[in-house]
Amino acid sequence: MGELTGLVACVTGGTRGIGRATAEAFVREGASVVVNGRSPEKGAQAVAEMDSAMDAGDRVHFIAGDVKQRADCEAVVDGTVERFGKIDILFANAGGASGHAPVADLTDEAMADSLEWNFWHTFWTTRAALAHMIPQGSGRIIAMSSVEGKVGKPGISIYVAAKHAINGLVKSCAQEVGPLGITVNAVCPGAIETDIMAAEGPPAAEAMGLTYEQLLDQFAQESAIKRLNEVEDVAEVCVLLASEAGGGISGSLISIDGGTAPY
């Protein structure tokens, strides 16, 4: 039996990248998993691939939705409960940012978009999940933060600000629901070359005065291991946090960055 046998998980942004790797890890450990994304086509493909690779069957389900919309965030959590009868694990994974610029040149729209994509999505899904977890007296909430949630970098303040906000939300929420059997943590990866990174990395690098290749190399050289992490590195930490073994970990901002963050 796996570490998560009999549990139900919801993973936003679960059709690719870190979310997909984590959804697969949850399935391998015995959980039933709802994956979310904006594209029904990509969702159907992800479900089919996971079924083929792991014989997941009806333990994997897709719910389409835009995490920048509160109603969609609430719908994916409530839809998880409708499909599988409960929700034990929330991985608020979706996120990103576009419209990078120095603060002096930033638009309101770029900042608002980043906050909706990262912070507000995490808040909306967390609040919706707690409505189910508090009555059942158990649950695991995992938020996607970043090494940028612990440091500052020029040119990408919209992302840095949103991830710092997530970290604060995680710490406060953990204090509130800890006595109720619910843990709340954030994972803080370093740079991982996902599809989102490939799409949004080049403009972010330009805002920092770098090429995309220079940006990736800078991330690697800032780490102790001198390379980028992989999506599987994050997925395995999420399995720990979602498991019974992770029950003593809450309010933590867990670095998965090869030794980049200062704390």
pLDDT given at position 87? 98
Q: Which CATH number fits domain 8-192+229-256: 3.40.50.720, 3.30.360.10, 3.40.50.2300, 3.40.50.300?
A: 3.40.50.720
Structure-derived torsion over alpha carbons of residues 215, 186, 65, 77, reported in degrees to the nearest 10 = 170
pLDDT tens digits, one per residue of 47-87: 999 988 888 889 999 999 999 999 999 999 999 999 999 99
Domains of the chain by residue range: 8-192+229-256
Which of 64-73, 213-222, 252-261 is predicted least confidently? 213-222
Q: Are 246 and 183 in contact (CB under 8 A)?
A: yes
pTM for the structure as a whole: 0.94
> Long-range CB contacts (< 8 A, 24+ apart) of 201-206?
203/98, 203/100, 204/97, 204/100, 204/155, 204/156, 204/159, 206/100
Q: State yes or no: pLDDT of 173 exceeds 90.
A: yes
pLDDT above 80 (res 1): no
pLDDT band at 201 (very low <50, low <70, confident <90, very high): confident
Q: pLDDT category, 193, cuts 50, 70, 90? A: confident
Selecting among 145, 159, 188, 189, the annotated active-site residue is 159
Looking at residue 123, its pLDDT comes to 99
* Active-site residue, 263 included: no
